[in-house]
């Protein structure tokens, strides 16, 4: 008997992560029910040495990415 990836991910508890920019602890659910799935911002995968960002830093990074000169919003 094999277990599908989708089934295996549903049973996984949320990971506890530390935002690589500000140090805030937050949860990440690999099943796709993560808070970031609700965000309208879509960014490239993290750069080398970074991991997921907290909600606030994700929004700031998205605003910077939209800015023509890359300035912080």
CB atoms within 10 A of CB 19: 18
Summarised one tens digit per residue, pLDDT across range 1-14 is: 555 544 444 566 77
What the block records as the tokens of 10 is: 């549903």
pTM beyond 0.95: no
Q: Which of 64, 51, 62, 59 is nearest to 21 (CA)?
A: 51
Summarised one tens digit per residue, pLDDT across range 37-71 is: 788 877 776 677 777 889 899 889 888 888 776 55
Which whole number is the average pLDDT over 8-36?
Answer: 78
């Amino acid at each position: 008997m094999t277990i599908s990836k989708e089934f295996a991910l549903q049973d996984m508890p949320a990971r506890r992560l530390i935002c690589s920019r500000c140090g805030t602890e937050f949860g990440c659910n690999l099943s796709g029910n993560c808070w970031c799935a609700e965000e309208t911002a879509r960014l490239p995968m993290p750069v080398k040495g970074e991991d997921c960002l907290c909600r606030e830093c994700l929004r700031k990074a998205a605003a910077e990415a939209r800015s023509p000169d890359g300035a912080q919003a």
